[in-house]
Structure 1
Amino acid sequence: MKKPHCLLFDCDGTLVDSEPLLAAEMATSLTRLGLPFAPSDYMGEFRGARFVNIVTELQRRHGDVDPQRLRDSEADMRRKLAKRLATELQPLEGVRDALDALAPYPRAVVSNGPENKIRAGLLATGLSDYFGDKLFSGYTANCWKPDPCLYLHAASIMGFRPDECVAIDDSIVGVKAALAAGMIVIHLNRFPDAEMTPDGAVAISSMYQLPTIVANLTREPALLS
């Protein structure tokens, strides 16, 4: 196994604590459309999934909704979410310390979310300077986790082979994507009672642990073999 040279971070739930805000706005929007949805549904079943995939599954369960109503509702939901992100969003505990400790490594954000949402989240939490323009969105690349293509795209643009990259992701969707891409994967598992870390990934429960794990990988890459 190659020693890690590049760090690829998921955004929502890994760097910033946006998922409770997203779940709340999604629940309001979808329930109003006649697609019953609670914040706990997102956190429990759909965390990390694309919005379009969530809507498709809910329509399968509850019936179809007029496409124009769906588009209008999604646009309204995203406007409201953007306002809340700008004023309420916080970085996850330990993120700043981890990024400071790992400053020598090239790093990027790799997210299923739209690029404007990624930028807004990083700006609101003061994390923009850690990543600059190294932001990779599924909407820009036209590929989304759990397909490995988004992580592979990011590695290629960053100038590294997949096995030279460490992916840090909190969602099972993202962890599986990075594993399929052939990367070293660290699963930020903040819900160990509800989620099992997939085989092949290293589990941590806090971002405070990340620098030590990366240091151990650098010294002893055989730990994951």
Structure 2
Amino acid sequence: MASDLCLIFDCDGTLVDSEPLLAEALEHSLTGAGLPFEARRYMEEFRGIQYARIVAAMEEEHGVKITDELRDTTEESMRQRLEENMRASLEPIEGVEETLAELDQACCVASNGPLRKIRLSMETSGLGRFFGDRLFSAYEIGTWKPDPGLYHHAGEAMGFAPEQCVVIDDAPVGVEAGLAAGMHVVHINRFSERESTPQGAWQIRRFEELPGIIEQLQRRIASMVQ
């Protein structure tokens, strides 16, 4: 059932299983820069959070301020290692390909990651055919989740009002951003033992549950305009 809805997908952890690869790259690069970091901490504390904020948090925790030069080389090292990891082993999240093939709404990707990383995710996972060039990066507009600006930008670029947009995100910062943007939000909560879904968002645990939620939203919206 088609409708005037736009589906705005997060990338890492929502469409592709890149978060463990990123966690490993962060552990390697940050620890090498004198900011000891364990991969598990990304998954437990920093999922979806802007890289610069992770560095700042580690500097504060360890009482160390790295130089601008070291900061730049550390990020370059991390990005390179992550790309190598992605090219070697990146896979779509289970159920994503089959579910995207079922959906017929307008859709795009909006991520806190750099545009190069989003494009590589689409290329290596094989999901690019579902999104084309409808890819939006926080780095392109200078606004990162949980600020709602990225989702507002993506919705406007796609030609939809906030109330016509559905954000699909697995990370707390993305769910917060979607709600703040005044959009419908579907939280893919794979860590329900330690993360809660905020009031106002729909919770699912598997990607395959998404079409059912979209159908419910379409019916709700249709009943409101009759």
TM-score bin (small chain): over 0.9
SS in 1 for 2:185: strand
* CA distance in structure 2 between the partners assigned to 1:159 and 1:4 by the alignment: 10
* CA distance in structure 2 between the partners assigned to 1:220 and 1:100 by the alignment: 23
Note if contact 1:95-1:207 (Cα within 8 Å) is conserved in structure 2.
Answer: yes
Match of 1:83 in 2: 84
Unaligned runs of 5+ in 1: none
What is the identity, as a one-letter code, of the residue corresponding to 1:157?
A
Match of 1:110 in 2: 110
4+ residue stretches of structure 1 with deviation over 6 A?
none
* CA distance in structure 1 between the partners assigned to 2:183 and 2:31 by the alignment: 38
Q: Shift of the alpha carbon at 1:4?
A: 5.9
Note if contact 1:4-1:217 (Cα within 8 Å) is conserved in structure 2.
Answer: no
Residues 1:201 and 2:201 are matched in the alignment: yes
Match of 1:152 in 2: 152
Superposition RMSD in Å: 1.4
Match of 1:190 in 2: 190
* CA distance in structure 2 between the partners assigned to 1:213 and 1:4 by the alignment: 15
What is the identity, as a one-letter code, of the residue corresponding to 2:207?
M
What is the identity, as a one-letter code, of the residue corresponding to 1:120?
L
SS in 2 for 1:7: strand
Q: Shift of the alpha carbon at 1:220?
A: 2.8
What is the identity, as a one-letter code, of the residue corresponding to 1:52?
A
* CA distance in structure 2 between the partners assigned to 1:87 and 1:35 by the alignment: 26
Q: Shift of the alpha carbon at 1:16?
A: 0.1
Match of 2:132 in 1: 132
| TM-score w.r.t. length of structure 1 | 0.95
* CA distance in structure 2 between the partners assigned to 1:58 and 1:221 by the alignment: 44
Relative to structure 1, the CA distance from residue 182 to residue 141 in structure 2 (aligned partners, 3 Å threshold; closer, same or farther) is: same
Superposed CA offset, 1:94-116 (max 9, x none): 101110110x2100000000001
* CA distance in structure 2 between the partners assigned to 1:200 and 1:221 by the alignment: 15
Unaligned runs of 5+ in 2: none
Match of 1:69 in 2: 70
Superposed CA offset, 1:151-180 (max 9, x none): 000000100001100000000000000100
Match of 1:47 in 2: 47
Note if contact 1:4-1:166 (Cα within 8 Å) is conserved in structure 2.
Answer: no
